[in-house]
Amino acid sequence: MQEHVSDPERELSSVPFKRGKVKDIYELDNEELLFIFTDRVSAYDIILPSTIPQKGQVLCKLAAYWFNYLKVPHHMIRVEDPNRMVVRRLKMIPVECVVRGYLYGSLYERLVKGEVNLPVKPVNAGKLPEPCFDPTTKSDVKDEPVTIDQIVDEGWLDLEEITALKERSVGIYKKMSERAEKAGFILADLKLEFGFDDESNIVLADSIGPDEFRLWPKENYSPGKNQESYDKQVIRDWLSKVGYKTNLDAARKAGQTTPRPPELPKELIDETSKRYVIAYERLTGLKL
């Protein structure tokens, strides 16, 4: 990984390309984009009003670590400053490739409701026999589960492409899981994004960090309950506890305006920041 000193003049004169939930993306030229990883945090596809100190640095540096570690084609060109990354422009694939090694979160909820069929008992946080490829739509509003047949029928990818994407995603999940285990963690699930380069090769894109996976300390893992997480699950759990998720789900079901999310308490902000830093340092063996 190359580290460069950024050029503020170039960045300020760049035209904003997209403001995501967490990243601000700028066009540098026809071939390169600049990712600025912010301290913003989202949950349930909503940007929250609070920010998490050091989060942007963790996401940028951990993404760079994984791009180098995984040894698969990726879009990173170089890192500029602790929270800025220059990447190749790709034709992004409109599918989020989710791989789940454990029955948790939305997959657990869908299994309990009978919305999915899996050859397992509905035990919260139970380990799956094999990693499950569980893709979703890619949306700025709310990502929704989608099947391989739907992806092909919609013409987003052909069967050969989605099969290759599934194999690539599961392979990355397994390699990352091995690294996480050596660091004392369980990688419960993982969200990946890919794009096509000019030669139609599948290239790993976006970022890979605690915003894209659930990370549980091995020593505290116990199926049948909610798990301690070194990611943003602590924020999701708090939003559920204070009733925001219930209100959000009801508003979405009724087609109403999204309710304003609450400010996070300082102790939760501090704890989340600490866990992101610990996750980075244990996974990489480096100091932030």
Q: Does pTM top 0.75 for this prediction?
A: yes
pLDDT tens readout for residues 190-219: 999 999 999 999 999 999 999 999 999 999
Cross-strand pairs, 187: 215
Cα 212 to Cα 207: distance, rounded to the nearest angstrom: 8
Mean pLDDT of 272-287: 96
Residue 89 CB partners (closer than 8 Å, separation 6+): 30, 31, 32, 33
Percent of the chain with pLDDT over 90: 82
pLDDT for 189 beyond 70: yes
Cβ(165)–Cβ(114) below 8 Å: no
Mean pLDDT of 246-254: 94
**Of the candidate ranges 40-54, 131-145, 266-280, the one whose mean pLDDT is the lowest:** 131-145
pLDDT band at 16 (very low <50, low <70, confident <90, very high): low
Q: What are the helix (H) ranges across the chain?
A: 8-13, 55-70, 105-112, 148-153, 159-182, 233-241, 244-254, 266-284
Q: In 3D, which of 97, 89, 93 has the Cα closest to residue 198?
A: 89
Identify the pLDDT of residue 2.
44
Q: What angle do CA 232, 236, 241 make, to 5 degrees?
A: 140
pLDDT for 5 beyond 70: no
pLDDT band at 9 (very low <50, low <70, confident <90, very high): very low
